[in-house]
Amino acid sequence: MDIITNQIEFLIITYPVIRYLFTWFIILRVLNKILFATIEKYVEITPEVKDNKIFKKVTQNKYYKLVSFILDLSLSVKLPKGK
């Protein structure tokens, strides 16, 4: 794991734009999670069935799934615990 950490540090130092890309990806991931969790709760609370169908259609869309998967995969990194 130290090798990967060292490589990431090297890339961030050598190419500072990577830091900004990671920051934007993290912001997008957080906003995506918060936005869709809020919308999902709203849809569950409302008595209408139409909004449930629309929400399900959006979340079952292959493009939404692809973007969500890429954001989760690229930013769900578990760092080693400190000693």
pLDDT 10s digit of each residue in the chain, 83 long?
Answer: 678 888 888 888 898 898 888 888 888 888 888 888 898 898 889 888 898 899 899 889 999 899 888 877 776 666 667 66
pLDDT at position 61, please? 93
Distance, in Å, from the CA atom of 53 to the CA atom of 65, rounded to the nearest integer, reads 17
pLDDT at position 30, please? 84
SS3 68: helix
pLDDT at position 60, please? 92
pLDDT at position 80, please? 66
pTM for this predicted structure:
0.60
SS3 69: helix
The single-letter code of the amino acid at 61 is N
pLDDT at position 7, please? 86
- The crossing angle, in degrees rounded to 10, of helices 50-59 and 62-75 is 60
